Structure 1
Amino acid sequence: MKIDSLKHKFLYKHKNLLLNFVAATFLIGLAFRFLFFNSSEIPPVLQSPFPEKTAVLEPSVSTPVTEDGPKIADQINDAEKCDVLVGDWVPNPSGPVYNNESCKFIESHQNCLTNGRPDRGFMNWRWSPRDCELPQFDAERFLRMMRNKKWALIGDSISRNHVQSLLCMLSMVEPAEEVYHDKEYRSRKWHFPSYNFSLWVIWSPFLVKAAIFEDMNGVATSEVELHLDKLHSEWVDEYQNLDYMIISTGKWFLKSSIYYENDSIIGCHYCPKRNLTELGFDFAYRKSLRLAMNFIASSNHKGLIFFRTSTPDHFEYGEWFSGGNCNRTAPVKEGEMEMKDLNRILRDIELEEFANATAKASRNGVNLKLLDVAPLSLLRPDGHPGPYRQFHPFAEGQNAQVQNDCLHWCLPGPIDSWNDIIMKMVIDG
């Protein structure tokens, strides 16, 4: 999934350069896997560097909401309305509202402190909008507001990362009870009985129908098969039953894939062994997002739907397969770090397709909002597990060769501020 070194010429399908570069990159990745993982099964270079393995854990304009119901628009103090997504990371000496010991919902890969990360500063920052105040997430108030409601976070492992953050916060008020999980613990549902509030994470990394031939260690035996004209039933079937949703996708489209329409193959992305037209991941991403956005905008859904932009990775001095790391221990300032080309392409498609859907959503009374966390996430290269996605990776010496995770987020960590932002957007509109 981390192929930042592909240049613009690749992105516009100059096939000769593509084949030369992919071949070279594949050989590098092959060597890395052989040297450091001693595995005879080498996944394609475009496969995920971090298997979606889930440990079984223990147990347009929307109407603002308050504990007593919708707030009338003229009751909102206009002076307090601002773009909460424009701001800075500022010191927060009080630290997070939960810790890695108080929350049982943190997966081992994101439990950076338990895994031995020595620094603590990455937890002591909060997001501060420039033109208004952003209160800290109030779990008790949130649960009161969401009495008898259903929330779902729909997407890939970043959505799962986010739902764990939200569960950690809410469970400081009332422990969440797990009431459902699928076979692989990817789609799950929790309930807060005192509030009759349900929180789901729905696994749908492409939003469209997909056949994924990959084991729990991330080793693929064949290309992903994507049906670009069919939405994934896992989330569509529950769509009208949900009051609030946060929908996202992104990085999985970089995988080797075969593309279908009307159940017939139309092309692929990175399938050199097949005699198929190379269409590129950007082609599939745009078509899939357009299909999903059109479904949402035409749905007459009466709740609130956030579309969250994909988050950038922070690999430096290489990629996931070539020794890249994310060893920074503090945020950077705006302008100090540029978004990588691939992340920018994904984001541009997201913003374009969201903009195309908003007029239709408004006409149909669908409350569709953009949750653009990419710019503020770009400023937090310090917030990833890095080598501490594994338990004490340097127990046998600081020179140990370890794989870094510079995509997901430590818990507690920067992703907790997403909940502050979401609550502000829900309350103030």
Structure 2
Amino acid sequence: MADEEVGGHSEPLHEKCSIGQIILKFIASVLLVGAAYYLFVGTFNSWTPEAEKDSLSLEKQDELNIRPFKKELGVDKPHLKKDSDVEVCDLSVGEWIPNPAGPAYTNETCNFIEPYQNCLMNGRPDTSYLYWKWKPNGCDLPPFDPLKFLNKMRDKSWAFIGDSIFRNHLQSLICLLSKVGEPYETYHDSTYKTRAWYYPSHNFTLHVIWAPYLVHYETIDNHGNASESITNLHLDILDSKWTSEFNKYDYVVLSGGQWFYKSTIMYENNQVIGCHNCPDMNIIELGVGEPYRKALQLSLNFIATSENKPFVILRTWTPDHFENGEWYNGGICNRTEPFKEGEINGDPTDLIMRSIEIEEFEKAKVIGESNGFKMELLDTYHLSLLRPDGHPGPYRTYHPFDGDKDKKVQNDCLHWCLPGPIDTWNEMLMKMVFNGESTGYALS
């Protein structure tokens, strides 16, 4: 009976389930359409131009990739900066990476290396310092191209104005150019500190002008003891060795330097206003920062208001790497590889001097650009700070330890071996001149 009931209702039951499924499918379809509509409308209503702007802003932030950088005097340094909506690579931020190819020249292929910087000739036993390359963050720094450089410099003249670091810098440039051609010397003063070289193939002249303070000075020698000499420094009079011929230069690179750390008596209007490192003279101690600022202000204002309008480049402060003393009392530099980021912070006074350079440069640049000047900052400080291995050290003289491995010798931990890290300064200089790219940044 039951089977009959089941069997008898089997067909009507089948018809009933089919109608129900159709109804259920219809209801489900309506619900799905409603849900889709709700989602679409909700999404559409949530979209606004501001939402797109926020998205683009995030993409832009990722593109700029503001990287953490070692703080110097409270300044964070990004590797890219905005300039008129054009991203400019900051060549001064990066890292030293291995370079198996080695330097572009050697002490045997370049005849213009002074004995004091000819570390290989002088017997330096390690050579690993030659196999590093500076890699900026976010952009490339191509190798120096001597032919391209000389072709662009046809009928031009350069002046490097400063101390012996600029002689070091200029000799690096001449060595990098030596693959294409060698200049002949057209001038030197009695001390060979101010000199000029000429490339007849391109009518191109290089000058190095000895002006270690940029302003006028006289040095009073104390019985031949360089460590005890006193300098009279006139902070309101520029050094005529560079100002007298400023009008003939197409490119000018200048910087103050370590000479400001020497014992000095400062003058304005021919009156003593103070001194640095003169404890027995009963004169007010001015330190080094403000005198350096005054020298830079006077120099940069002279340049920014000059009738001649060369491409002007201010190179930042050069660090030294003396350890366990200074140059005159046993300081050494015997490291054989670069520092890693964070291993060294730099001398606090050096950082102050560098910050003064940047501040004064930015002020002068505003004046200079309004007068048609092109002014740039060649920021070599930090990348140089990371290279304690690049100095001559004891190998400033020929085979200093011959016959006595334990002999006490004077070290040079300020100048740079050639070839060496200072060659990177000229790679940066070339990229700056050709591409108009800044290698520095402004203090906020």
Where does residue 251 of structure 1 map in the other structure? 258
Change (3 A) 1:155 1:216: farther
State whether residues 289 and 350 of structure 1, in contact with CA within 8 Å, keep that contact through their aligned partners in structure 2.
yes
Where does residue 130 of structure 1 map in the other structure? 137
Where does residue 304 of structure 2 map in the other structure? 297
Instruction: Identify, as 1 or 2, the structure richer in helix.
Output: 2
Change (3 A) 1:341 1:177: same
State whether residues 222 and 229 of structure 2, in contact with CA within 8 Å, keep that contact through their aligned partners in structure 1.
no
Equivalent in 353, 362, 366 of residue 355 of structure 1: 362
Where does residue 170 of structure 2 map in the other structure? 163
The 5 Å alignment of 1:209-248 reads 209-214=216-221, 219=226, 222-248=229-255
Shift of 1:218: 6.4
Where does residue 332 of structure 2 map in the other structure? 325
Higher relative contact order (CA 8 A, sep 6+): 1
SS at match of 1:191: strand
Where does residue 93 of structure 2 map in the other structure? 86
Residue 400 in 1 paired to residue 407 in 2? yes
Shift of 1:222: 4.6
Where does residue 274 of structure 1 map in the other structure? 281
Cα separation, 2, equivalents of 1:419 and 1:153? 12
Change (3 A) 1:356 1:178: same
Where does residue 372 of structure 1 map in the other structure? 379
Normalising by structure 1, what TM-score? 0.79
Where does residue 192 of structure 2 map in the other structure? 185
Where does residue 109 of structure 1 map in the other structure? 116
Residue 426 in 1 paired to residue 433 in 2? yes
Which amino acid is the alignment partner of residue 334 of structure 1? E
Residue 389 in 1 paired to residue 396 in 2? yes
Deviations 1:85-135 (A, max 9, x none): 221111111111111122121111111001110011111111111111211
Which amino acid is the alignment partner of residue 405 of structure 1? D
State whether residues 257 and 268 of structure 1, in contact with CA within 8 Å, keep that contact through their aligned partners in structure 2.
yes
Cα separation, 2, equivalents of 1:231 and 1:153? 16
Deviations 1:353-397 (A, max 9, x none): 112222212211211111110011011011001111121111122
Which amino acid is the alignment partner of residue 130 of structure 1? N
SS at match of 2:226: coil
Deviations 1:400-429 (A, max 9, x none): 111111111000000001111111111111
SS at match of 1:84: coil
Shift of 1:217: 7.3
SS at match of 1:212: strand
State whether residues 300 and 366 of structure 1, in contact with CA within 8 Å, keep that contact through their aligned partners in structure 2.
no
Residue 174 in 1 paired to residue 166 in 2? no
Cα separation, 2, equivalents of 1:400 and 1:220? 22
The 5 Å alignment of 1:6-21 reads none
Structure 1: 5+ residue stretches without partners: 1-72
Normalising by structure 2, what TM-score? 0.76
Where does residue 21 of structure 1 map in the other structure? none
Larger radius of gyration: 2
Cα separation, 1, equivalents of 2:112 and 2:223? 20
SS at match of 2:220: coil
SS at match of 1:105: coil
Shift of 1:167: 0.9
Where does residue 127 of structure 2 map in the other structure? 120
Change (3 A) 1:215 1:173: farther
Q: Percent identity?
A: 54
Which amino acid is the alignment partner of residue 235 of structure 2? L
- Bigger Cα displacement from structure 2, 143-152 vs 365-374: 365-374
Deviations 1:270-294 (A, max 9, x none): 2233232222222211111111111
Where does residue 158 of structure 2 map in the other structure? 151
Deviations 1:237-265 (A, max 9, x none): 12121000110112101111111111222
Which amino acid is the alignment partner of residue 87 of structure 1? G
SS at match of 2:280: coil
State whether residues 163 and 211 of structure 2, in contact with CA within 8 Å, keep that contact through their aligned partners in structure 1.
yes
Which amino acid is the alignment partner of residue 434 of structure 2? I
Cα separation, 1, equivalents of 2:223 and 2:341? 37
Q: Give the alignment's Cα RMSD to 1 decimal.
A: 2.1
Cα separation, 2, equivalents of 1:222 and 1:384? 25
Cα separation, 1, equivalents of 2:110 and 2:222? 28
Which amino acid is the alignment partner of residue 341 of structure 1? P
Cα separation, 1, equivalents of 2:268 and 2:220? 19
Change (3 A) 1:215 1:236: farther
Cα separation, 1, equivalents of 2:224 and 2:431? 38
